């Protein structure tokens, strides 16, 4: 049996229950081959309470994940909460998704994990923006990857 590679998926959600369910269904449809996934869902809508209750559709989907953490916030932290949430992750490899992302490719997480391995020792691979990876008096190095150009590139 091949070694399992752990990955944490952090999902931000804000009052879009239907979109969140679509994303959760997409995550359940992923081919995990050699990946073992931890799911962390952060609900930023104070008037919504997420749980893994079997009495609602979203809860039943959340129950389908072996390792899931659900956080309900009383404040909308927007996307600023992404990086602090990594302190809750048990794994070194973290993928950030928003609840309005639709995963159509069942190999998405495998692809993201494999791509991340190619840019080591860079610690962060982002699909939304470029991130600096080195910064000193003479040099600023950034890495960018997005859905339009899926190969990571140094800027």
d(CA 72, CA 42): 6
Helices and strands in the chain: count of H runs, count of E runs: 4, 7
Question: By mean pLDDT, which of 4-8, 124-128, 135-139 is the weakest?
Answer: 124-128
Q: Contact, 54 vs 23, CB < 8 A?
A: no
Give pTM, 2 decimals.
Answer: 0.79
> Could you count the other beta carbons within 10 Å of the beta carbon of residue 96?
21
Average pLDDT over residues 42-70: 94
Helices (H), the chain: 17-28, 57-63, 82-85, 108-118
Residue 69 has pLDDT above 90, yes or no: yes
Residue 142 has pLDDT above 80, yes or no: no
Query: What one-character DSSP code corresponds to residue 152?
Result: -
pLDDT of residue 146: 53
At 18-32, the pLDDT tens digits run 999 999 999 999 998
């Amino acid at each position: 049996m091949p070694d399992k590679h752990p990955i944490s998926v952090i999902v931000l959600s804000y009052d879009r229950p239907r979109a969140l369910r679509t994303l959760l269904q997409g995550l359940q449809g992923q081919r995990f081959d050699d990946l073992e996934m931890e799911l962390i869902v952060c609900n930023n809508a104070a008037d919504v309470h997420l749980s893994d209750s079997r009495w609602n559709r979203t809860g039943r989907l959340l129950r389908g994940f072996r390792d899931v953490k659900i956080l309900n916030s009383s404040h909308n932290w927007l996307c600023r909460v992404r990086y602090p949430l990594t302190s809750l992750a048990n794994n070194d490899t973290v993928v950030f998704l928003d609840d309005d992302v639709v995963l159509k490719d069942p190999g998405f997480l495998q692809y993201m994990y494999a791509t991340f391995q190619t840019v080591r020792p860079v610690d962060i691979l982002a699909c939304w923006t470029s991130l600096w990876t080195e910064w000193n008096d003479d040099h600023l190095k950034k890495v960018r990857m997005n859905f339009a150009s899926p190969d990571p590139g140094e800027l």
